[in-house]
């Protein structure tokens, strides 16, 4: 769930205990994933473009921390982005303590969705799908919020399962996985949850072997551990506690991975791809970028040890010190440490030498599904169909 608004992807596609229980699926390739719900853009009144006009498609991903929109048109076997929007809304703020979406958080999200609705109207979107994830899954007032969004913006949010979230993330970013044989891991660190997907590469879309979703994202983990102390030793202890908590939630999945024998080979052959604001931010720091540049980060391969070193450095810094770093600033300074803890727990579980970085995920997966379902792009349609049959 990358936190940065992507430009056109046409060229990029060629580059290479106090939480809810985890959800998972083992050897479930024979179970078909639920087909995504497709709707005409509600804010556009469901009016189709005139015959012969170039149709546009839209995907909205309302997460625990961000609201993101992508609008694109088919372009051969891919698609070209014509509009995008991303805003930090922190919908899940306070959820770990109260179990509810706060009024302020809902208002922030509604403001962002109002912008999305306006873009859908102006771009004359043909088909759209709008999804909400962990915050709305967990909140006791999630249904009330969904109804309010529909009433005030016309956008019908689909609260998707963790399984569907994992499927869409894989569909949206797997093209950036390093070539190779044998199993690989794709992960998505969100605001309220983290998804791990064990896959096997094929000639087209990967075959999903197993998956796990745990209720730890950058917002939920940060709020569970509370504000950090001013002392470095206390900050490091807090970070260690975060890593332990996440590792415990991964334990069943880790046992299944070991039992399946997929870690019995050489570590050098393990492949790992991450899609999240955490990995794109750390990749930016690794490149020493003065400001975020998606073209430099999306598809980058980074040594895992370098990501661990950056994570440890950030965990030891004060909030003020992190705020001064390019690509972090005030918006991410309090949450990035939790993301680093989750990332290191993943690297402990799947000790790959290198980490692929993706600034793409759920939205791109939605777009590929919509375009394929509407009969555009033979290869895209084949990939989506196979992932539904074999994955999850």
Among 109, 129, 160, residue at a domain's last position: 160
Say whether both 270 and 128 belong to one domain.
no
Residue 392: inside a domain, yes or no? no
Residue 141: inside a domain, yes or no? yes
Say whether both 305 and 181 belong to one domain.
yes
Residue 110: inside a domain, yes or no? yes
CATH number for 82? 3.30.420.40
Q: Residue 147 has what pLDDT?
A: 98
Residues whose CB falls within 8 Å of the CB of residue 52, separated by 6 or more in sequence, listed in order:
none
- Tell me which residue range forms the domain holding 203: 177-358
Which one, of 63, 58, 154, lies nearest residue 108 by Cα?
63
Three-state DSSP string of the chain: CCCCCCCCCCCHHHCCCCCCCCEEEECCCCCCCCCCCCECCHHHCCCCCCCCCCCCEEEEEECCCEEEEEEEEEECCEEEEEEEEEEECCCCCCHHHHCCCCHHHHHHHHHHHHHHHHHHHHCCCCEEEEEECHHHHHCCCHHHHHHHHHHHHCCCEEECCHHHHHHHHHHHHHHHCCCCCCEEEEEEECCCCEEEEEEECCCCCCEEEEEEEECCCHHHHHHHHCCCCCCHHHHHHHHHHHHHHHHHHCHHHHHHHHHCCCCCCCHHHCEEEEECHHHHHHHHHHHCCCCCCHHHHCCCEEEHHHHHHHHHHHHHCCHHHHHCCCCCHHHHCCCHHHHHHHHHHHHHHCCCCEEEEECCCHHHHHHHHHHHHCCCCHHHHHHHHHHHHHCC
| Mean pLDDT for the stretch of residues 374-378 | 63
d(CA 329, CA 316): 16
Q: Residue 331 has what pLDDT?
A: 85
Residue 27: inside a domain, yes or no? no
Say whether both 193 and 317 belong to one domain.
yes
CATH number for 239? 3.30.420.150
Burial 108-127 (b: 16+ CB within 10 A, else e): bbbebbbebbebbbebbbbb
Among 103, 133, 160, residue at a domain's last position: 160
Say whether both 193 and 261 belong to one domain.
yes
Residue 330: inside a domain, yes or no? yes
Sign of the Cα torsion 117, 88, 3, 169 reads negative
Instruction: State how many domains the chain has.
Output: 2
Residue 61: inside a domain, yes or no? yes
Mean pLDDT of the chain: 85
Say whether both 198 and 128 belong to one domain.
no
Q: Residue 374 has what pLDDT?
A: 82
Which one, of 212, 216, 231, 243, lies nearest residue 316 by Cα?
231
Confirm if 359 and 374 have CB atoms less than 8 A apart. no
Over 90: is that where the pLDDT of 322 sits? yes
Say whether both 112 and 143 belong to one domain.
yes
Residue-wise pLDDT for 190-219, tens only, equals 999 999 999 988 877 788 999 999 999 999
Residue 11: inside a domain, yes or no? no
Say whether both 88 and 195 belong to one domain.
no
* H/E run at residue 311: helix 304-316
| Mean pLDDT for the stretch of residues 357-380 | 84
d(CA 218, CA 61): 17
% the chain with pLDDT above 70: 81
Say whether both 135 and 184 belong to one domain.
no
Say whether both 147 and 183 belong to one domain.
no
Say whether both 340 and 209 belong to one domain.
yes
Over 90: is that where the pLDDT of 12 sits? no
Q: Residue 376 — very low, low, confident or very high, per pLDDT cuts 50/70/90?
A: low
Q: Residue 9 — very low, low, confident or very high, per pLDDT cuts 50/70/90?
A: very low
Among 160, 189, 212, residue at a domain's last position: 160
Residue-wise pLDDT for 22-46, tens only, equals 677 654 332 323 333 444 444 333 3
Residue 4: inside a domain, yes or no? no
Residue-wise pLDDT for 233-253, tens only, equals 999 999 999 999 999 999 999
Say whether both 209 and 345 belong to one domain.
yes
Say whether both 137 and 234 belong to one domain.
no
């Amino acid at each position: 769930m990358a936190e940065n608004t992507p430009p056109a992807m046409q060229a990029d596609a060629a580059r290479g205990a106090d939480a809810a229980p985890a959800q998972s699926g083992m050897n479930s390739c024979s179970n078909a994933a639920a087909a995504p719900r497709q709707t005409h853009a509600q804010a556009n009144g469901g009016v189709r473009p005139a015959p012969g006009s170039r149709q546009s498609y839209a995907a909205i991903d309302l997460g625990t921390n961000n609201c993101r929109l992508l609008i694109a048109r088919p372009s051969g076997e891919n698609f070209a982005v014509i509009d995008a929007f991303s805003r930090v809304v922190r919908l899940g703020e306070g959820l770990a303590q109260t179990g509810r979406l706060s009024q302020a958080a809902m208002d922030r999200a509604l403001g962002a969705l109002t912008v999305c609705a306006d873009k859908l109207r102006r771009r004359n979107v043909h088909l759209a799908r709008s999804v909400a994830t962990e915050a709305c899954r967990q909140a006791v007032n999630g249904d009330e919020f969904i109804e309010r969004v529909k009433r005030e913006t016309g956008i019908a949010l689909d609260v998707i399962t963790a399984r569907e979230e994992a499927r869409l993330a894989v569909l949206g970013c797997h093209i950036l996985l390093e070539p190779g044989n044998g199993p690989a891991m794709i992960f998505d660190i969100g605001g309220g949850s983290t998804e791990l997907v064990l896959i096997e590469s094929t000639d087209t879309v990967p075959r999903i072997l197993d998956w796990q979703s745990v209720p730890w994202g950058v917002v939920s983990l940060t709020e569970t551990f509370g504000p950090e102390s001013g002392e470095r030793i206390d900050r490091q202890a807090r970070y260690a506690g975060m890593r332990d908590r996440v590792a415990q939630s991964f334990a069943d999945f880790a046992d299944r991975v070991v039992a399946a024998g997929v870690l019995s080979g050489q570590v050098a052959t393990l492949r790992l791809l991450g899609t999240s604001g955490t990995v794109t931010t750390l990749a930016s720091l690794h490149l020493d970028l003065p400001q975020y540049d998606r073209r430099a980060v999306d598809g980058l391969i980074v040594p895992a040890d370098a990501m661990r070193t950056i994570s440890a450095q950030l965990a030891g810094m004060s909030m003020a010190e992190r705020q001064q770093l390019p690509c972090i600033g005030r918006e991410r300074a309090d949450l990035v440490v939790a993301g680093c803890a989750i990332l290191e727990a993943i690297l402990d579980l799947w000790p790959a030498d290198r980490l692929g970085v993706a600034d793409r995920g759920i939205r791109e997966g939605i777009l590929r599904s919509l375009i394929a379902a509407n009969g555009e792009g033979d290869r895209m349609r084949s990939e989506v169909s196979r992932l539904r049959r074999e994955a999850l």
